[in-house]
Amino acid sequence: MIKPHGSDTLNPLYVDDSRANQSLLDDAQSMPSVLMSSAGAANAVMLGAGYFNPLTGYMNRTDALSVANTMHTSSGLFWPTPVLCLVDGAGALETGTQVALRDPNVDGNPVIAVLDLEAVEHLDDDDMSLISEKIYRTEDLEHPGVAEFYAQGRSLLSGPIKVLNFSYFKTDFADTFRTAVQIREQIEASGWNKVVAFQTRNPMHLAHEELCRIAMERVGADGCVIHMLLGKLKPGDIPADVRDAAIRKMVELYFPKNTVMITGYGFDMLYAGPREAVLHAVFRQNMGATHFIIGRDHAGVGDYYGDFDAQTIFDQEVPDGALEIEIFRADHTAWSKKLSKVVMMREAPDHSKEDFVLLSGTKVREMLGQGIAPPPEFSRPEVAQILMDYYQSL
């Protein structure tokens, strides 16, 4: 099986021993505590689940700026985005102590992790500007990722952490949320060697479904892991539970058994385009995938990134050998009226735009809201029904 990023074995930060977990949770009640941002809590989940291997906790200012500038920590580890615990004021927290980190996304704000506090630092305007420009390629607060980054606060807490739970993801998405450890175990149990990973924050239409097939066939994969984001999205995106139901129906009806694994991970979308695509590749390697599909405007939003910037970053900015996972570069996929099948548009040079079934997201949402199913060349009818039920319930 493919090695994790940066180490020979996966080192998740979740305290798996139940007695040790409870003991640390008991101790945490008398520790100074801080209420995290949703993004900070999501980072804790990813660290606990092994997706952010080999990191041992939250980055300090030096590492955050180094990662933003060079995609390497100060020690030389390749890493594409800062992993931060930003809070709105650190109060009287003292370095060298343990701090209970509280979850903003669960009622009662339970302790999600314990931080061995190594530094309390402040990100000034120049720091925030640099990170925003390098990671998001913009400082525009209309960009949802930039807005969330600036809303977290300026006090930066850093140091190793021990993770005590997986927030709401394990309870709300019991059938879908999986740690990197669990996915590796399932891949091994399935006897898969080559594994394609597909990232999604949306329901999968026919073109997405076919793209998974195309990738599997071309790389000779034994299976595909559909790995959906379960955390916070921007307003207007379809909730994770609806997306989950739609994807499960598609796989149940249209894929052979034991060829597709449906899983999810607990992270908030950054909408950071190219940099987030590289982060996605890192944690797909950590979960055991050998190949990762990156298509048009991967992890993008609005018009902030070029259509294929998330692919070219691997050629222009990711050093050779930095990652073992291979990137499957996909074009926009759509139904060809000429060929009566889904194709990647770049592979149909004799086609004009009118030869494809193309629907904008706005148009699809309007149709679903009116109880009108998109054409079968765009969406499976069973999937469309789930989405129509959702939109008509709004």
Phi first, then psi, for residue 180 (nearest 5°) are: -60, -35
Annotated catalytic residue, options 61, 201, 248, 365: 201
> Which neighbouring-strand residues pair with 161?
115
In the annotation, is 11 catalytic?
no
Annotated catalytic residue, options 11, 21, 193, 202: 202
In the annotation, is 165 catalytic?
no
Q: Give catalytic residue positions.
A: 201-202
